[in-house]
């Protein structure tokens, strides 16, 4: 059986190439940022871009910007009058995010909010979301979901990242003492699997992407 790394390399070789600006951002992220794996990366980024192109969203919400990689991917499919709001809690990341958003020619179509999503989201309560990407504090997945699900239009899409949590969500996996993230991810996955408001599909892409179509 082929290694997971070999399969990932094969998938990348048969996926549309990473745009030059995103390749530059990937390199900079790995050289200058802690935990660079938190960035969506090539294959997942192209998948997010494809979903955005298929939806042609007018309003996109991203919770958890990190370096801005997924931000740029999700913005690729925006409708002509579309706009993306992204929320990042760490102010030290602001300058890099704004620099790459500007380099992509998206300064007028992407609004970056610096702060805790719990504090930012009430100011966006009048928006109707076509597409939501949640990739932030895993213990807060359920809170983020409940905060935005009422604003997602019927037929709209929510995407939640890291729902496999390096395989630790699987039954029988021994939890390390003090691990509060894994039980939170497990509980969230179980909850939305039974939630009648959404139709879920969990994809084993990278660390797990959960797609939730609003009914």
Question: Can you tell me whether residue 73 is helix, strand or coil?
Answer: helix
Rounded to two decimals, the pTM is 0.96
- Number of domains the chain is built from: 1
- Whole-angstrom distance, CA of residue 116 vs CA of residue 80: 29
Per-residue pLDDT at 37: 84
Q: Based on the number of CB atoms within 10 Å of its own CB, is 200 exposed (0-12), middle (13-18) or buried (19 or more)?
A: middle
Q: Which of 48, 39, 38 is nearest to 16 (CA)?
A: 48
Return the number of other C-beta atoms located less than 10 Å from residue 87's C-beta: 23
Asked if the model's pLDDT at residue 4 lies above 90, the reply is no
* DSSP annotation string for 88-132: ES-GGGHHHHHHHHHHTT-TTTEEEEES-HHHHGGGGTT--EEEE
CATH code of residue 115: 3.40.50.150
> Beta 209-214 vs 152-161: how paired, if at all?
antiparallel
* Distance between CA atoms of residues 68 and 66, nearest Å: 6
Question: Under 8 Å CB-to-CB from 162, ≥6 apart: which residues?
Answer: 135, 138, 185, 207, 208
Average confidence (pLDDT) over 62-68: 98
Q: pLDDT digits over 145-197, tens only?
A: 999 999 999 999 999 999 999 999 998 888 899 999 999 999 999 999 999 99
Domain that holds residue 200: 4-214
pLDDT of 201 over the 90 cut: yes
pLDDT higher than threshold 80 for residue 2: no
């Amino acid at each position: 059986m082929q290694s997971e790394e070999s399969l990932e390399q094969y998938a990348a070789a048969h996926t549309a190439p990473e745009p030059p600006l995103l390749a530059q951002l990937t390199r900079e992220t790995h050289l200058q940022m802690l935990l660079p794996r938190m960035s969506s990366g090539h294959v997942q980024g192209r998948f997010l871009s494809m979903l955005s192109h298929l939806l042609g969203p007018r309003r996109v919400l991203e919770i958890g910007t990190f370096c801005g990689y997924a931000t740029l991917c999700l913005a690729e499919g925006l409708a002509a009058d579309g706009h993306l709001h992204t929320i990042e809690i760490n102010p030290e990341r602001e300058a890099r995010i704004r620099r790459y958003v500007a380099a992509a020619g998206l300064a007028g179509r992407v609004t970056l909010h610096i702060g805790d999503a719990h504090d930012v989201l009430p100011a966006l309560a009048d928006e109707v979301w076509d597409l939501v990407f949640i990739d932030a504090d895993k213990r807060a997945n359920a809170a983020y979901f409940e905060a935005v699900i009422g604003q997602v239009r019927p037929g709209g899409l929510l995407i939640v990242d890291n729902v496999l949590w390096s395989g630790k969500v699987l039954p029988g996996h021994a939890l390390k003492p003090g691990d509060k993230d894994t039980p939170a991810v497990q509980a969230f996955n179980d909850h939305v699997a039974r939630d009648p408001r959404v139709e879920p599909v969990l994809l084993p892409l990278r660390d797990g992407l959960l797609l939730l179509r609003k009914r």
